[in-house]
């Protein structure tokens, strides 16, 4: 811990006690406390927000009453993909604070200093830490905010609390690991749950199968598999960075395995991370994207999809190509790419998963059996719909303001902010780490403004 820090607090500052208001008589409602804001999810986005709220609240003298709810039992960032050989694709300078305040004690550089590794890291001559180290950095920062986060609580719904014709508060319902439900009241919600695993339709009936799993649970799931022999056959579905990392990890983790990489494209494509293209991830580019008409935004996202979707780091591509080439040299082909291939159906029988495959160029059909199938098929971002169906009547027809606040109809007083759900309006960087520092600050400032309005209204009453 940094000198002057205290376990469970950030810079020794504690959130104020939640305000209490009477809940309507006769209602089986939540407790009477009212938070200024509840953050749903406590990954990097809401962690950056927690820092920004803490700093801004102390500067303004108007601390925000905030609570974060996280369904995992502890802070863990992409735990299923913390592979031994996996590195970050983003500079450590795009940590939780540096783009806003390079002097912050929550910087990655200070993390290295506190842990006695700064000189050693410099000797690496790299801007890119391992994924394992960056997760450790995030956990270290999160440890300073344990007094503001309830771990092991899964939010199941966000509902309106009406007072006559006006919705004054939101009620956030969550369930802990023992099945106990808790309901909290708040004036604002910040949704930052990340994506949910995207499962292709062909695999929908195999939900719960031990032998078919999404990349998000890779490390746990692959360790639990009861392979019958030393030469299992494994399929990886996908053509992006995650698929490539799994392909390489399986080769080293299970040396006797045969691994097929199945994807619909003609070739594995390199990510475009050249300096000029990378400018689309600069925070000020968000203003440019947001200022475009809808057609212009769509065109920009399509133009630069090669920076983020279904693309692979160039070095990994070279390693994969070398593996496939050396197989030809020694005449021992155990790893293969299945290009232009669609999985039409998937069925499980005994210890095998059978995939019915279609070559989309020729129409040829084939069937293959695997001991395991790993879905590196990305994520969907529909938590707004699954958590907040009760709020749909109150949402405006047009989407999200520049400060990430969801637009609502008259008579709806609470605020809903989105982190990582606004790619269509704010650009490709919205789901990445690149802009979360600035976005967290923007949302924090907006929340401080709301807090001031509430305080002024109460003082005038």
For residue range 58-111, list pLDDT tens digits in order: 888 878 899 999 999 999 999 999 999 899 999 999 999 999 999 999 999 999
Contact 34, 186 (CB under 8 A): yes
Indicate the pLDDT class of residue 452, thresholds 50, 70 and 90: low
The predicted model scores a pTM of 0.90
Task: Indicate if 197-271+308-378 has the same CATH topology as 19-195+381-460.
Answer: yes
Per-residue b/e over 138-167, b at no fewer than 16 CB within 10 Å? bebbbebbeebbbbebebebbbbbeeeeeb
Note the pLDDT of residue 227.
87
Query: Token pair of 203, please?
Result: 């695999």
The domain 197-271+308-378: what is its CATH number? Answer: 3.50.50.60
Per-residue b/e over 102-133, b at no fewer than 16 CB within 10 Å? eebbbbbbbbbeeeeeeeebeeeeeeebbbeb
C-alpha closest to that of 453 among 418, 416, 415, 419: 415
Residue 17 has pLDDT above 80, yes or no: no
Contact 258, 247 (CB under 8 A): no
Note the pLDDT of residue 335.
96
Note the pLDDT of residue 15.
45
CB atoms within 10 A of CB 242: 25
Beta pairing class for 415-418 and 188-191: parallel
Length of the chain, in residues? 461
Strand partners for 338: 262
Per-residue b/e over 356-378, b at no fewer than 16 CB within 10 Å? ebbeeeeeeeeebebbbbbbbbb
Look-up: residue for tokens 């999404």? 214
C-alpha closest to that of 183 among 50, 32, 389, 71: 32
Mean pLDDT lowest among 117-121, 297-301, 353-357: 297-301
At the top level of CATH, the class of 19-195+381-460 is alpha beta
Contact 375, 238 (CB under 8 A): yes
Residue 26 has pLDDT above 60, yes or no: no
409 or 305: whose pLDDT is higher?
409
Residue 89: burial class (beta carbons within 10 Å; 0-12, 13-18, 19+): middle
Contact 92, 128 (CB under 8 A): yes
Contact 312, 268 (CB under 8 A): yes
Note the pLDDT of residue 2.
33
Rg (CA), the chain: 24
Residue 3 has pLDDT above 80, yes or no: no
For residue range 285-307, list pLDDT tens digits in order: 999 999 999 999 999 999 998 88
Residue 205 has pLDDT above 80, yes or no: yes
CB atoms within 10 A of CB 33: 16
Contact 262, 340 (CB under 8 A): no
Contacts 24+ apart (CB under 8 A), 60-64: 60/448, 62/448, 62/451, 62/452, 62/455, 63/13, 63/15, 63/16, 64/15, 64/36, 64/37, 64/444, 64/447, 64/448, 64/451
Q: Is 120 helix (H, G, I), strand (E, B) or coil?
A: helix
Note the pLDDT of residue 454.
53
Residue 51: CA count within 13 A, CB half-sphere = 27
Average pLDDT, stretch 425-432?
95
Mean pLDDT lowest among 5-19, 65-79, 109-123, 165-179: 5-19
Indicate the pLDDT class of residue 33, thresholds 50, 70 and 90: confident
Residue ranges covered by each domain of the chain: 19-195+381-460, 197-271+308-378
Strand partners for 162: 167
Average pLDDT, stretch 129-153?
97
Contact 225, 211 (CB under 8 A): yes
Note the pLDDT of residue 60.
81
Note the pLDDT of residue 7.
32
Per-residue b/e over 272-302, b at no fewer than 16 CB within 10 Å? beeeeeeebbebebbeebeeeeeeebeebbe
Residue 41 has pLDDT above 50, yes or no: yes
d(CA 423, CA 429): 7
For residue range 242-289, list pLDDT tens digits in order: 999 999 999 999 999 999 999 999 999 999 999 999 999 999 999 999
d(CA 232, CA 250): 11
Beta pairing class for 33-35 and 19-20: antiparallel
Express as a percent the part of the chain with pLDDT over 90: 83
């Amino acid at each position: 811990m940094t000198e002057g820090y205290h376990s469970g607090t950030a810079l020794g500052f504690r959130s104020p006690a939640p305000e209490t208001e009477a809940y309507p008589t006769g209602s089986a409602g939540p407790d009477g406390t009212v938070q200024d804001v509840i953050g749903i999810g406590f990954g990097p986005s809401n962690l950056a927000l927690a820092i920004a709220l803490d700093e801004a609240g102390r500067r303004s003298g108007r601390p925000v009453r905030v609570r974060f709810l996280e369904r995992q039992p502890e802070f863990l960032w992409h735990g299923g993909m913390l592979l031994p050989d996996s590195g970050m694709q983003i500079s450590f300078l795009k940590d939780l604070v540096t783009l806003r305040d390079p002097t912050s004690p929550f910087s990655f550089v200070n993390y290295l200093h506190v842990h006695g590794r700064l000189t050693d890291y410099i000797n690496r001559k790299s801007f890119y830490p391992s994924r394992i180290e960056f997760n450790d950095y995030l956990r270290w920062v999160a440890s300073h905010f344990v007094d503001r986060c309830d771990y092991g609580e899964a939010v199941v719904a966000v509902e309106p609390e009406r007072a006559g014709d006006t919705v004054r508060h939101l009620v956030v319902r969550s369930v802990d690991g023992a099945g106990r439900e808790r309901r909290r009241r708040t004036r604002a919600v910040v949704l930052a749950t990340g994506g949910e695993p995207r499962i292709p339709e062909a695999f929908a009936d195999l939900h719960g199968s031990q032998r078919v799993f999404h990349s998000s649970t890779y490390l746990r799931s692959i360790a639990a598999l009861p392979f019958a022999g030393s030469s299992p056959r494994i399929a990886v579905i996908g053509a992006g960075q995650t698929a490539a990392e799994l392909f390489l990890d399986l080769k080293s983790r299970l040396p006797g395995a045969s691994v097929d990489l199945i994807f619909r494209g003609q070739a594995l494509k390199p990510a475009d991370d050249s300096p000029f293209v990378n400018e689309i991830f600069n925070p000020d580019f968000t203003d440019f994207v947001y200022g475009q008409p809808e057609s212009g935004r769509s065109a920009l996202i399509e133009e630069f999809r090669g920076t983020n979707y279904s693309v692979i780091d160039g070095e990994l591509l070279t390693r994969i190509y070398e593996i496939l080439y050396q197989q030809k040299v020694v005449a021992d082909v155990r790893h293969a790419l299945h290009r232009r291939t669609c999985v039409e159906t998937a069925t499980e029988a005994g210890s095998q998963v059978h995939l019915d495959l279609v070559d989309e160029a020729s129409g040829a059909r084939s069937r293959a059996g695997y001991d395991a199938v790993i879905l590196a098929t990305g994520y969907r971002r529909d938590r707004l719909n699954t958590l907040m169906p009760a709020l749909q009547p109150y949402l405006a027809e047009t989407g999200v303001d520049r400060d990430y606040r969801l637009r609502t109809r008259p008579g709806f007083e609470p605020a809903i902010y989105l982190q990582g759900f606004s790619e269509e309006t704010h650009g490709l960087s919205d789901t990445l780490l690149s802009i979360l520092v600035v976005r967290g600050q923007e949302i924090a400032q907006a929340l401080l403004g709301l807090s001031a309005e509430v305080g002024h209204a109460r003082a005038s009453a």
